[in-house]
């Protein structure tokens, strides 16, 4: 067996216009997939995107309309990568603040739930599909000063495992990729403003570096492809060993 065998496959990447999501979309497009991007800035979609839709994943009706558009345009759905998320607990605090709670849960948890639900509905009739949720090391360990983000990512791990059990009979595989510190434009800006944070992130990784977005994308590529045909319910850390200790 050669290559990843996704040429012509139709799939969704949420949050696919920037950061890790963009790297995922570009990698899948490079392998010949027809990638539909959901993003709040669809005009910034990668070159070769099959369709770019303005979708706020926290809005269930908007998600439903977007998946209906996919069904009308393409008929089938082979994979879905739920990457869209926010992390707005940026200021260290000894208190648990109310501000980030609703919006973080709406996007990082409910958004994944909405997209999974509609993706599965398209996949079940043909008894085939691959879903990859993008978590975080915060899906596996506690994260100081970011309780809501960590809670939402832990919850996505639970959704992933539950879907793997419930829909495995339908040959729908559901897995989660949990990146560590990754060199996105957003993180680079934060670390430029806070060199101490950069040193901390690098020092906490046994490999003493950040991941490149393409390294996360390569893990996703494998999981949406037939090369991982018996991988279901897996929690895959791409973190340079951060969660190994």
Q: What are the residue boundaries of the structural domains of the chain, listed by start?
A: 10-182+212-238
Token output for 116? 């999974």
The pLDDT value recorded for residue 89 is: 80
Residue 1: pLDDT over 60 = no
How large is the average pLDDT for residues 111-139?
Answer: 98
Residues β-bridged to residue 174? 131
- Using a 10 angstrom Cβ sphere, with 0-12 exposed, 13-18 middle and 19 or more buried, the burial of residue 64 is middle
The pLDDT value recorded for residue 95 is: 74
Tell me the HSE value of 165 on the side-chain side, using a 13 A CA sphere.
Answer: 5
User: How far is it, in rounded angstroms, from Cα 220 to Cα 236?
Assistant: 10
Alpha helices in the chain (DSSP H): 19-30, 60-74, 99-104, 111-123, 147-167, 185-193, 195-203, 213-224
Tell me which DSSP letter residue 74 carries: H
| Between 90 and 124, residue with greater pLDDT | 124
149 is known as an active-site residue: yes
Q: Let me know: does 241 contact 182? Beta carbons within 8 Å.
A: no
Task: Provide the pLDDT confidence category of residue 93 given band limits of 50, 70 and 90.
Answer: low
Give 132-162 pLDDT, tens digit per residue: 999 999 999 998 888 999 999 999 999 999 9
How large is the average pLDDT for residues 86-109?
Answer: 84
At the topology level, CATH places domain 10-182+212-238 in Rossmann fold (3.40.50)
Token output for 231? 């991988």
Residue 185: pLDDT over 90 = no
Q: From the candidates 4, 67, 79, 149, which is the catalytic residue?
A: 149
Phi, psi of 73 (to 5 degrees): -80, -40
């Amino acid at each position: 067996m050669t290559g990843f065998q996704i040429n012509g496959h139709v799939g969704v990447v949420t949050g696919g216009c920037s950061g890790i999501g963009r790297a995922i979309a570009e990698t899948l497009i490079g392998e010949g997939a027809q990638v539909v991007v959901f993003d709040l800035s669809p005009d910034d979609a990668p070159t070769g995107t099959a369709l770019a839709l303005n979708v706020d994943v926290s809005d269930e009706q908007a998600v439903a309309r977007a998946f209906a558009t996919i069904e009308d345009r393409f008929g089938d759905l082979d994979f879905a990568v739920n990457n869209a998320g926010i992390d707005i607990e940026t200021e260290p605090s000894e208190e648990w603040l109310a501000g980030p709670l609703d919006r973080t849960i709406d996007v990082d948890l409910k958004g994944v739930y909405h997209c999974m639900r509609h993706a599965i509905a398209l996949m079940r009739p043909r008894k085939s599909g691959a879903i990859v949720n993008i978590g975080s090391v915060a899906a596996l360990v506690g994260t100081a000063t970011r309780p809501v983000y960590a809670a939402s990512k832990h919850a996505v791990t639970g959704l992933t495992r539950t879907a793997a059990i419930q829909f495995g009979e339908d040959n729908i595989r559901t897995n989660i990729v949990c990146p560590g510190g990754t060199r996105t434009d957003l993180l680079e800006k934060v670390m430029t403003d806070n060199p101490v944070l950069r040193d901390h992130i690098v020092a906490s990784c046994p490999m003493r570096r950040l991941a490149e977005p393409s390294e996360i994308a390569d893990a996703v590529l494998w999981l949406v492809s037939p090369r991982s045909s018996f991988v279901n319910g897996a929690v895959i850390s791409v973190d340079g060993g951060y969660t190994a200790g």
